[in-house]
Structure 1
């Protein structure tokens, strides 16, 4: 089953690859390694804003992280000329969680992205990861995640 079929089964779809919001490129390929710039939490309504431990629950944060994972995959698809079959594996994610100073469940929030990638890709979706707190993120979003991927 393809990634697109799995997404459909889950009631999800990849967005168009978001354009950069400042002076950077959305991804850089070095050999078979693809570095994808940080993708902020957003959906069809726009940026998903809020602070974990204040205005958002862990579940809402995990849903925001899942949206970041979809944007990461959209960037991978763009880098692979529309062919997600070229994705060999997810290597590493670095997740930033807009959270209060006493919030300590950043890993549970970033699990929203990790769990989706494993569900879609199986062992190819298993990755190294960091999940850290941020006092603020661009546009006040809840989550931002960057990724490193192996492609062919």
Structure 2
């Protein structure tokens, strides 16, 4: 059964992949939006699994089991998580184009989950992967920005 360190390693591996894609992108070779959305979703999945294991000693068997655990323990993020899962499914299995706006929305959803779980290090790593650099505040249209001080006062 994977533990929180395994999930942390997986989510960081996803961010490393994202960083490579961003660094290789150019006007001639744009980011593959379908895969960026999928990377965001699977990063969120491992953020959630890391939290479930650390706080509840739970490991989900599959997506259905994970959905149940999120519903029971972290219902505040359920709509955000479900939206990311749906976007990832659309990106992988439907022939609809994933727009840059959808990529940005999915990225903001990932930030929302990271904020909810007080994962400033993951937010900063994502910012680095996007070429933004580490910043003390991450703006969000969903919630006010948080700072490292806010995170140290977390539950």
TM-score (norm 1): 0.34
Instruction: Identify the structure with the greater strand proportion.
Output: 1
Instruction: Identify the structure with the greater helix proportion.
Output: 2
Tell which structure's C-alpha radius of gyration is larger: 2
> Higher relative contact order by CA 8 Å / sep ≥ 6: 1 or 2?
1
